[in-house]
Structure 1
C-alpha cells in the first residue's frame, strides 16, 4: 500500500468514526453530511469525495461496525465443527453482540426512526441481521441436506434460532427496562441450543457425534 493509499484509508476510518458518533447522538434523520464535515474539521467536498450520500455513509458505518462480527460468524459456523458446538457458539457470540452498548444504541435509534427514515432500517438489515440470517441459513441448509435436521426449512430454522436468541433482549430494549438481577434475563446459550435440537434434530445422540 502506498503512502497516499494509507493516508486515504486513515482518513476514511476517521470519517466513519465521526459519522458513527453523529448517527448515534442525533439519529439518522438528524444527521447531515454538513454536520459530519463540520465535526471532522474539513470541507464538505472532502467528505463527498469519499461518500456520495448520507445513505452511502450510513451503510459504510454499519459495514465497519459489523465486519469483525461477520468474520467471527464465518469461523463459528464451520462445517468441520460438530453441529451442536457450532449452534451453541453461534448463540453465545450472537447474544453477546446484540447486548453490547453500541448494538443496543443502534437498535434503539432504528426503532425510534422506523417511520421517519425507513431507508436507515433497510440499510441496517441488509448489512447486519440479513447477513447473519443468510450465513445461518447456509449452514443449517447443509446439515438439513445431510439428514441431521428436519421439521422446517433452513430459513424457518434460522429465524427460530435468531428469535430465541433475541427475544428477551429486544423486549428489554423496546421497553427501556433496567431490570433487577435475574428478571427478564435471556436463557443461557446451552438452553437455547437444547430447545433448538428438540425442535429440529433428527436424533440428538447422532447430532452430538457429528464432527
Structure 2
C-alpha cells in the first residue's frame, strides 16, 4: 500500500472497508489475505482502500482491536462494585466467554498467534488494543473490592489473569483445536459458574 506509513484515514466508506476486510481475514488469515480480495469484498476500489490504510497490518489491527475494544467497554459497563462479587464475576465471565468462544474471537486468536513470530507488532498491538484493556478493568475492580473488604486479593494483576484463564477452561482449547464445532449455553454456564466458584474459594471473604 502506498499511503503514508502508519496513517489511518476515515471517510464515508471506512466501515465498508472494515467489513470486507473482516470477511477476508477470517477466511484467509493475515498472510493469505490479498488487497485485491479485500477491496472486492468491501465493494471499493484499491485506491479507496489505500486512501484509508497505509498497510495490511494496520487494517487487520483496526478490525481486531475494534471488536476487542467493544468487548472491553461492555466489560466496564457490566461491573458494578456495589453488587456482590459473585454477581460481578459471573457477569464478567459471561462477557469474556462470549468473545473468546465466538467465531470471530477464535479466528483473531489463531491469526495473531500464527503471525506474531514473523510480525511481532501484531501480537503487541492486539494485546494493548483489546485484552489488556479488559484485564485493566478487572484489576481495578479487584483493587476496589479488596479495599472494601468484599474480596481478599494480595496481587490483583495475578488474580485478573487467573480469572481470565478459568473462563477459558475446557471449551476454548477444544474449539481452537477443532475438537468441537460449537458449545451450548449449558456448557458455557458450567464453565462460568465453576470459574466464579473456584475464584471465590481462593479470594472470597
TM surpasses 0.5: yes
Q: Which runs of 5+ in 2 are unaligned?
A: 1-9
CA contact (8 A) 1:87 1:193 kept: yes
TM-score (ref. length: structure 2)? 0.80
The counterpart of 1:194, out of the listed 181, 194, 197, is 197
Which range moves more in the overlay, 121-130 or 158-167? 121-130
In 1, Cα distance between equivalents of 2:69 and 2:24: 20
CA pair 141-46 structure 1, distance change in 2 beyond 3 A: same
The correspondence for 1:30, drawn from 9, 32, 45, is 32
What is the rounded CA distance, in whole Å, between the counterparts of 2:182 and 2:136 in structure 1? Answer: 35
Aligned to 1:42: 44
In the superposition, relative to structure 1, how do residues 55 and 180 fare at CA in structure 2: closer, same or farther (>3 Å)? closer
Q: Which residue of 2 aligns with 1:99?
A: 101
The residue correspondences of 1:2-13 to structure 2 (distance < 5 A) are: 10-13=12-15
- Residue 154 of structure 1 and its aligned partner are, at CA, apart by 0.8
- Could you give the per-residue CA deviations for residues 34-87 of structure 1, whole angstroms, max 9, x where no partner exists? 542344343333222222222221121123323432221111112233322111
Aligned to 2:31, the other structure's residue is in SS state coil
Structure 1 stretches lacking a partner, 5+ long: 1-7, 204-211
Q: Taking structure 1 as reference, are residues 124 and 20 closer, same or farther at Cα in structure 2, changes over 3 Å only? A: same
After superposition, the C-alpha distances for 1:118-144 in whole angstroms (9 at most, x for unaligned) are: 332222222221111111111111112
Query: Contact 1:29–1:116 (CA<8 Å) still a contact in 2?
Result: no
Is the partner of 1:178 in helix, strand or coil? coil
The answer (yes or no) to whether the contact 2:167–2:191 under 8 Å persists in 1 is: no
**Offset at residue 174 of structure 1 (A):** 4.1
Which entry has the higher C-alpha Rg, 1 or 2? 1
Task: Give TM-score, length-normalised by structure 1.
Answer: 0.78
Query: Per chain length, whose mean CA-contact separation is higher, i.e. which structure has more relative contact order (CA < 8 Å, sep 6+)?
Result: 1
Partner of residue 118, structure 2: 116
Question: Does structure 2 conserve the Cα–Cα contact (< 8 Å) formed by 1:108 and 1:173?
Answer: no
Q: State how many pairs are aligned.
A: 193
